[in-house]
Amino acid sequence: MLLIALCAISCATSSSSLAFSYTLNIFGNANMDDAINESDIAYLEDVIAGRSPATELSDANLDGIVDGKDIEQVERLIDGTGEQLTLKAYTIYEELMNVTIPMPVESIVVLNLACAESVRGIKAQDKIVGVGSSLVEGANRDFFPEMIDLPTVGKWSEPDIEAIISLNPDIVIADLRTPDPEKLEDKLEGTGITVVRMGFTYPDYSSSEIMALGYILDRKDDARELNSFAGKYSDLIEERLSSIAESERPRVYPIYYTSADLWKTGSNGSIVDMLCGLAGGENIAHDLTGGTGGMYPTVDPEWVVEENPQIIFTWSSPGGYSLANDSAMRELWTKIVQAPELSRVDAAKDERVHLMTTEITSRPRWFVGLSYLAKWFYPEKFLDLDPEAIHKEYLERFQGLEYQGIFVYP
C-alpha cells in the first residue's frame, strides 16, 4: 500500500519569511514551478532540442526518455484527460518515492478534520463517500453539516478497514502521522485503494498540498484561488515586517494548553513556532527540545519567569465554531494572568495575553491565526488588518458557512 505524504521539494521557510515559492511535485512539471501549463510544454521542447537541461520532473511518463510522448502527457495533465498522475512524494518512514494515482479520482474517504476542510475548500466535497467519525460527532456536526449522513469509517486514528473497503474509494486521505501504517496502509494492501497523507497544517507546505490536491481531484482553479487568498495576507504580513530587526521583535511564550497545563510549549519545527516567527515574534522556547517529535517540550515555570516574555498566547484554547460565548476562554485567560509565576512576567503585567483555538492555527486556516498574531505583536503596523473579517470571508467563500463561534480572546 502506498504511503504518501505530499510536500514540495523546494518549499522553504524561515522564522521570519514565508518564501511561498514551491515546486508542484507532479511529473510533467518540467520547469519545476508551481503549476503544469503551456510553459512546461515549451520547456520540454527546449530539452528535446538540447537548449535546456532536463529536470527531475521532465520525464512526464517515466519511461526514462524525454521526448514527444512527455509533451503528450503534459497536454493530458493540462486538459484533465490523463489516465494517471505521478507524484514525487515523501513518505513518513522513507525517502522520496514516485507514486502513481489512477485518474480520474471520483470517490474519496477523508479521515480527519483538516483533510475534510481542505477538500471542501477547493469545492471537491461531492467526491467524499465516507468520513472519519470525528467529523460528524459533537461540535463538528455544525461545521460539516453536509457530511452528517455520510457513512463513517471509524476514528481518524483507528480506521475501520472493512468499512473503507466496502465503500471502494479511489483514495483515502489521512493525516501525515496518524494512524500508523499498520492500521491503514498495510491493511489496505492489494485492494487498489491508495492512501494519500496530507497535513494541510504547516504554513510552508500547505500551499503545495492544496495545489497537489487540486490536480488530484480536478479542482486546479479552486485550489489556486484558495492559495491566492491565503497568500494575499501572508505576503502582506511578511512585507510589513521585513524591515524589523531581530532585536526589535517581541519575546513570546506560546502555550500548548492541555489538561490545565500552562508549561507545555512549542519549539523549533512546531506549527506554533513557525507562526510565531512569521508574525514577527521571538519564541523563547525555539531552541528547546522535548515532547512529541521533540517539538513540544514542557518547561520549568521559573525558567519562563527568567525569560520574561512580553507576550503570551495559547493555541489550544477552549472555543470553536459552535461556541456561543467566551466564558471558557475568559476563565482560562484569568488563570494565566493570575498564575503565581506568570503574573510576574511583563506579558501578564501588561495584559498582553491572548488565546486562540486550533481551528485557526493547526488547520488550513493557519493564515487566520497568523493574522491575529501579527496584529497582537504589532498593533500599530496592522491597524487596517481585520483577522475576523478574513476568517469570515474564508468561511463564507471557501467553506460555504456563515461566520459564528469564538476563536480568540480577548
Tell me the C-alpha distance between 217 and 49, whole Å: 33
Of 24-33, 226-235, 251-260, 388-397, which gets the smallest average pLDDT?
251-260
Q: Which residues contact 206 (CB under 8 A, 6 or more apart)?
A: 199, 200, 230, 364, 366
List the grid coordinates of 386.
Answer: 481585520
CATH of domain 244-409: 3.40.50.1980
- Beta strands 84-89; 97-102: pairing state: antiparallel
Tell me the C-alpha distance between 364 and 206, whole Å: 7
Tell me the C-alpha distance between 364 and 317, whole Å: 17
Judge contact between 315 and 254, C-beta under 8 A: yes
Tell me the C-alpha distance between 282 and 248, whole Å: 9
pLDDT of residue 10: 39
CA nearest to 90, candidates 177, 5, 160? 5
Neighbours of 248 (CB within 10 A): 10
Neighbours of 383 (CB within 10 A): 9
Tell me the C-alpha distance between 173 and 109, whole Å: 6
Instruction: DSSP for 51-91, please give it.
Output: SS---TT--TT-SS--SHHHHHHHHHHHHT--SEEEEEEB-
| CA 251 from centroid of its chain's CA atoms | 25
Residue range 76-102: mean pLDDT, rounded = 79
Residue 11 pLDDT more than 60?
no
Q: What is the rounded end-to-end Cα distance, in angstroms, of the chain?
A: 47
If you average pLDDT over every residue of the chain, what do you get? Answer: 91
CA nearest to 26, candidates 54, 51, 56? 56
**Coil, strand, or helix at residue 137?**
coil
Span(s) in the chain for CATH 3.40.50.1980 = 3-229, 244-409
CA nearest to 194, candidates 302, 84, 334? 84
Residue range 340-360: mean pLDDT, rounded = 96
pLDDT of residue 207: 87
Tell me the C-alpha distance between 410 and 402, whole Å: 22
Amino acid (1-letter code) at residue 318: P
Q: Which residues contact 117 (CB under 8 A, 6 or more apart)?
A: 143, 200, 363, 364, 365, 399
Judge contact between 363 and 114, C-beta under 8 A: yes
Q: Which residues contact 19 (CB under 8 A, 6 or more apart)?
A: 12, 13, 204
Tell me the C-alpha distance between 101 and 83, whole Å: 9
Tell me the C-alpha distance between 207 and 367, whole Å: 11
Write down the pTM of the prediction. Answer: 0.90
* DSSP summary character for residue 325: -
Burial of 50: CB neighbours in 10 Å, binned 0-12, 13-18, 19+: exposed
Residue 162 pLDDT more than 70?
yes
Residue 94 pLDDT more than 70?
no
Tell me the C-alpha distance between 377 and 310, whole Å: 9
Question: Where does residue 345 fall: left (phi above 0), alpha (psi -120 to 50 degrees), or beta otherwise?
Answer: beta
- pLDDT, one tens digit per residue, over 293-346 is 899 999 999 999 999 999 999 987 788 999 989 999 999 999 999 999 999 999
Tell me the C-alpha distance between 60 and 29, whole Å: 8
Of 44-48, 110-114, 123-127, 360-364, which gets the smallest average pLDDT?
360-364
| Domain 3-229 grouped into CATH 2.40.40.20 | no
Instruction: Enumerate helices (H) and strands (E) in the chain, giving the number of each.
Output: 13, 12
Band (pLDDT 50/70/90 cuts) for residue 14 is very low
Helix (H) or strand (E) holding 258: none
Integer-rounded Cα radius of gyration of the chain: 22
